[in-house]
């Protein structure tokens, strides 16, 4: 049984008053310690230490030290994760690395309906290198067999699907791919910080992720890159000075640093990385098994409430798997008028989001969401649907970000 | 004559007490307004708006709106600059764009002794694409002629050299390159915010830069990319979802946004970009000609003091051009024992930096440095040299960052 006091854990976050926040799978809430730490960083360190801070405050090590903090959350060993750039940029590095490791194969296999940036980056690489060196194919992940991957250099897929919230079996799919001589890159954007996983035990080759969702690193916080130790000799296609073996020797010739450090490129934002570092400290002392159990309990509770509601049964189809082993940390409902319904919920103080074409996502962040949040969301959704107030004109207007 | 009140301007910055800060060419000082703005961003916007902030606080537009703020400082028009990623990543985008625009030419020409990340990225691109599609050559910039560039797709060079502080003639060199059918990429890392320039009038093709030096955006603040309007139809080799024409439609196929927006890749740090935005507001109401005049007056004053000092004349050679038209915003002195001398100066409260093999850099940030700063630096350097206290053991120890 979990020994975590979830009420106490919740109190460590600043949560918006009078709102039910179910969008931590899009942007995580602000840990109170992060607010405090950033104040210190800005008003003491940047202000007074200035350039000395790179040494005295170990800013220069942040991409690696934050990487190590992330490693402990995703079941990776120290020295295999670097926190830098964006998920998209890190994916570019991982994909070229796979083409190098798996020389002779030029095919990238990804999933039909993958989160867009993943397929855009893969297609962009194909366009840059030319089809003779790199092509992409999109497949139905449910029908994946070793045969499908016989020519693939790498299989790229999301650990948790951003629309349905379906969780994939990391160990089994990795083994299937590798049995066909294919490497794997897991996109952990929707799982890191909410799902227990073990990249080492699953023998994952590469992984990428972001820190602004369940890791609570702040809006647009940096991405991360995991490279299994056995692949750390590959080239970084974006070899900036921060990945050099001796960066302040300013040598004309690039010599890659040993280990994960070579995957760094340019100078990273100390503000952004310090926010991530502070936010990750909230995970200290927790086990990811306990965090995962809480997540399943919350989403399970929400699903039970959906099952018990005749209004919801008739209006909203469950898209997320009911089976615990296949469920991430969000529940997705397919609805007619999903966009205006999401806007009416937000107006009610239940913060959710909409995904094309007809999905409303209810994200549960195990560190701060509660069973009462689930109950309030269900009640609000019932009220929005029965009152039909989602038909009001103001709920039809699309902003840039949905 | 300048109408700027430089004392008032200086008072807008938090400067470390009891120190002479001459390293704003490495990390700019903290504007007081930025401190205030970040407090609001963190404790009000991230905390309470959470995911809604992407719309309500226009976070989603920051890469473009901050880009426009930078544009007005570097003589570019609105819609030609984007602030994102690092200088290194933006350089990768610019280099591949040049190979596309100048199809049929595969040679990248850069300067011998270029800032390392620039040549590493160019060499990395050559390695990725293969020598038949992309090669690099390093040349002596002083001996540059159209003949040297007859086969080059692009000439990449620094507007101000990071070691010597020499300023290049942007208009003349751009014209020389273009007369040979060669495009140009200017690296503005050491000039943006200190030197007046006009990218449009100089017909520059591409430019990259960073915001943590004279633009005071904070440690490791994001880079920027300028793309002349006539080149904005090229591909971004890192086509992430933020560069899509309709990013929240989550389409499977990438369709580049029109204009500069297509050069975006992944989600950007709102903390980092908001700091840049706040810091750039200090430039409002200033003309870059007045800023440049102040910079030249400060560095000129320092050089005069060096000329007047027999101690300095005998120990330290001036590396930076005396001619105003060829001088950036730093003065570099070549010294025996340059590293321990730089450490002894820092211990004296005069914050400078060291660059291999024998250079001490005195950076003057025109917005907040004073003539008295220059006098104190000269006095301190004389004292360090005559006392020989740079020989003390503690000044021989190298930290990671110099």
Q: Model confidence over B90-132: pLDDT tens digits?
A: 999 999 999 999 999 999 999 999 999 999 999 999 999 999 9
Verify that B100 and B185 share a domain, yes or no: yes
| Number of cross-chain residue pairs from A and B with Cβ atoms under 8 Å apart | 287
Q: Of B16, B113, B267, which has the smallest distance from its Cβ to A86's Cβ?
A: B267
B210 to A124: CB separation less than 8 angstroms, yes or no: no
Q: Which of A43-52, A63-72, B176-185, B273-282 has the lowest mean pLDDT?
A: A43-52
Q: Which residues of A touch B239 (CB under 8 A)?
A: 120-121, 123-124
Q: Is residue A49 part of a domain?
A: no
Q: Of B85, B351, B356, which has the smallest distance from its Cβ to A85's Cβ?
A: B85
Whether A402 shows a pLDDT value over 90: the answer reads no
Verify that B369 and B250 share a domain, yes or no: no
Verify that A258 and A303 share a domain, yes or no: no
Task: State the nearest Cα–Cα gap between B397 and chain A, in angstroms.
Answer: 12
Q: Which residues of A touch B16 (CB under 8 A)?
A: 47-50
Beta strands A13-14; A206-210: pairing state: unpaired
Beta strands A206-210; A183-187: pairing state: parallel
Q: Which of A 36-55 lie inside 8 A of B, CB atoms?
A: 38-39, 42-43, 46-55
Verify that A331 and A213 share a domain, yes or no: no
Q: Is residue A42 part of a domain?
A: no
Q: Which residues of A touch B46 (CB under 8 A)?
A: 30, 218-219
Verify that A119 and A173 share a domain, yes or no: yes
* CA atoms of A266 and B209, how far apart (whole Å): 12
DSSP 8-state class, residue B324: G
Q: Which of B 272-301 lie inside 8 A of A, CB atoms?
A: 272-273, 275
Q: Is residue B205 part of a domain?
A: yes
Percent residues over pLDDT 70 in chain A = 100
A272 to B269: CB separation less than 8 angstroms, yes or no: yes
Task: State the nearest Cα–Cα gap between A356 and chain B, in angstroms.
Answer: 6
Helices (H), B228-309: 270-280, 288-308
A123 to B220: CB separation less than 8 angstroms, yes or no: no
Task: State yes or no: is B187 an active-site residue.
Answer: yes
Last residue of a domain, one of A283, A309, A340: A283
Verify that A367 and A218 share a domain, yes or no: no
Task: State yes or no: is B361 an active-site residue.
Answer: yes
Q: Is residue B246 part of a domain?
A: yes
Last residue of a domain, one of A283, A308, A325: A283
Residue B1 is predicted with a pLDDT of 60
DSSP 8-state class, residue B264: -
Domain count, chain B: 2
A42 to B46: CB separation less than 8 angstroms, yes or no: no
Tens digit of each residue's pLDDT (9 = 90 or more) over B73-83: 999 999 999 99
Q: Which of B 84-113 lie inside 8 A of A, CB atoms?
A: 85-89, 92, 96, 112-113
Full residue range of the structural domain in which residue A307 is found: 6-30+287-396
Burial B23-61 (b: 16+ CB within 10 A, else e): bbbbbbbbbeebbebbeebbeebbbebbbbbbbebebbb
Tens digit of each residue's pLDDT (9 = 90 or more) over A253-303: 999 999 999 999 999 999 999 999 999 999 999 999 999 999 999 999 999
Residue A120 is predicted with a pLDDT of 97
* CA atoms of A385 and A305, how far apart (whole Å): 15
Longest alpha-carbon distance in chain B: 70
Verify that B176 and B199 share a domain, yes or no: yes
A400 and A360 Cβ atoms separated by less than 8 Å? no
* CA atoms of B9 and B262, how far apart (whole Å): 36
Quickly tell me which residue has 């495009």 as its tokens.
B183
Low-confidence ranges of chain B (pLDDT < 70): 1
Name the closest residue on chain A to residue B21, using Cα atoms.
Answer: A50
* CA atoms of A180 and A176, how far apart (whole Å): 7
Q: Which of A 146-165 lie inside 8 A of B, CB atoms?
A: none
Flag whether residue A25 sits within 8 Å of chain B, measured between CB atoms: no
Verify that B268 and B300 share a domain, yes or no: no
Verify that A112 and A204 share a domain, yes or no: yes
Radius of gyration of chain B (CA): 22
Q: Of B43, B47, B121, which has the smallest distance from its Cβ to A238's Cβ?
A: B121
* CA atoms of A233 and A229, how far apart (whole Å): 8
Whether A1 shows a pLDDT value over 70: the answer reads no
Last residue of a domain, one of A232, A266, A283: A283
Q: Is residue A25 part of a domain?
A: yes
Name the closest residue on chain B to residue A59, using Cα atoms.
Answer: B219
Flag whether residue B263 sits within 8 Å of chain A, measured between CB atoms: no
- List B138's β-bridge partners, or say none: B110
B327 and B320 Cβ atoms separated by less than 8 Å? yes
Verify that B356 and B234 share a domain, yes or no: no
Flag whether residue A136 sits within 8 Å of chain B, measured between CB atoms: no
Instruction: Output phi, psi for B166, to 5 deg.
Output: -70, 135
Q: Of B30, B221, B268, which has the smallest distance from its Cβ to A47's Cβ?
A: B30
Q: Which of A33, A44, A46, A245 to mutate to test the interface with B (most CBs of B within 10 A)?
A: A46
CATH at A236: 3.40.640.10
Residue B3 is predicted with a pLDDT of 83
Catalytic residue among B21, B92, B115, B206: B115
Residue A144 binned pLDDT confidence (cut-offs 50, 70, 90): very high
Say whether the ipTM exceeds 0.95: yes
Average pLDDT, chain A: 97
B47 to A220: CB separation less than 8 angstroms, yes or no: no
Residue A193 binned pLDDT confidence (cut-offs 50, 70, 90): very high
Task: State yes or no: is B226 an active-site residue.
Answer: no
Q: Is residue B374 part of a domain?
A: yes
* CA atoms of A220 and B114, how far apart (whole Å): 32
Q: Which of B 174-193 lie inside 8 A of A, CB atoms?
A: none
Verify that A168 and A117 share a domain, yes or no: yes
Q: Is residue A93 part of a domain?
A: yes
Q: Which residues of B touch A43 (CB under 8 A)?
A: 35
Query: What does the CA dihedral A51, A55, A61, A63 come to, rounded to 10 degrees?
Result: -10
Over residues A9-27, mean pLDDT? 97
3-state secondary structure A161-191: CCCCCEECCHHHHHHHHHHCCCEEEEECCCC
Radius of gyration of chain A (CA): 22
Beta strands B350-351; B20-21: pairing state: parallel
Q: Which residues of B touch A35 (CB under 8 A)?
A: 42-43, 47
Flag whether residue B235 sits within 8 Å of chain A, measured between CB atoms: yes
Residue A285 is predicted with a pLDDT of 95
B220 to A129: CB separation less than 8 angstroms, yes or no: no
Tens digit of each residue's pLDDT (9 = 90 or more) over A313-359: 999 999 999 999 999 999 999 999 999 999 999 999 999 999 999 99
B182 and B102 Cβ atoms separated by less than 8 Å? yes
Q: Is residue B83 part of a domain?
A: yes
Name the closest residue on chain B to residue A134, using Cα atoms.
Answer: B129
B53 to A219: CB separation less than 8 angstroms, yes or no: yes
CATH at A379: 3.90.1150.10
- Provide the annotated active-site residues of A: 115, 187, 212-213, 361
A48 to B16: CB separation less than 8 angstroms, yes or no: yes
* CA atoms of A276 and A362, how far apart (whole Å): 24
A47 to B89: CB separation less than 8 angstroms, yes or no: no
DSSP A235-264: PPSS--GGGBTTGGG--SS--BPSGGGGG-
Residue B400 is predicted with a pLDDT of 85
Task: State the nearest Cα–Cα gap between B116 and chain A, in angstroms.
Answer: 6
Flag whether residue B212 sits within 8 Å of chain A, measured between CB atoms: yes
* CA atoms of B190 and B320, how far apart (whole Å): 14
Verify that B279 and B142 share a domain, yes or no: yes
């Amino acid at each position: 049984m979990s020994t975590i006091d979830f009420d106490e854990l919740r109190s460590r976050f600043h949560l918006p008053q009078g709102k039910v926040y179910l969008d931590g799978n899009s942007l995580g809430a602000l840990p109170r310690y992060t607010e405090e730490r950033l104040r210190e960083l800005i008003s003491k360190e940047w202000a007074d230490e200035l350039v000395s801070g790179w040494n005295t405050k170990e800013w220069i090590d942040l991409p690696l030290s934050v990487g190590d903090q992330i490693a402990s959350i995703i079941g990776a060993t120290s020295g295999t994760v670097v926190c830098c750039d964006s998920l998209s940029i890190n994916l570019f590095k991982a994909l070229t690395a796979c083409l190098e490791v798996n020389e002779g194969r030029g095919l990238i296999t990804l999933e039909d309906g993958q989160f867009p940036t993943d397929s855009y980056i893969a297609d962009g690489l194909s366009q840059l290198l030319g089809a003779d060196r790199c092509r992409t194919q999109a497949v139905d992940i449910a029908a994946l067999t070793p045969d499908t991957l016989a020519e693939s250099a790498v299989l790229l897929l999301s650990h948790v699907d951003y629309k349905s919230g379906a969780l994939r079996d990391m160990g089994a799919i990795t083994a299937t791919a590798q049995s066909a001589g294919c490497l794997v890159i897991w996109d952990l954007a929707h799982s890191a910080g909410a799902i227990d996983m073990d990249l080492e035990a699953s023998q994952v080759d590469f992984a990428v992720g972001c820190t602004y969702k369940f890791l609570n690193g702040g809006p647009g916080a940096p991405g991360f890159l995991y490279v299994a130790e056995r692949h750390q000799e590959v080239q970084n296609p974006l070899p900036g000075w921060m990945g050099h073996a001796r960066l302040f020797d300013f040598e004309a010739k690039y010599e890659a640093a040993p280990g994960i450090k070579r995957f760094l490129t340019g100078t990273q934002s100390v503000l952004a990385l310090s926010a991530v570092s502070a936010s990750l400290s909230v995970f200290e002392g927790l086990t990811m098994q306990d965090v995962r159990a809480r997540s399943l309990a919350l989403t399970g509770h929400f699903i039970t409430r959906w099952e018990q509601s005749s209004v919801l049964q008739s209006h909203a189809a469950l898209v997320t798997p009911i089976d615990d082993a296949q469920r991430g940390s969000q529940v997705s409902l397919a609805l007619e008028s999903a966009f205006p319904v999401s806007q009416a919920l937000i107006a009610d103080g239940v913060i959710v989001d909409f995904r094309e074409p007809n999905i409303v996502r209810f994200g549960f962040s195990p560190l701060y969401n509660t069973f009462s949040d689930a109950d309030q969301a269900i009640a609000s959704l019932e009220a929005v649907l029965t009152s039909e107030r989602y038909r009001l004109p103001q709920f039809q207007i699309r902003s840039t970000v949905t």
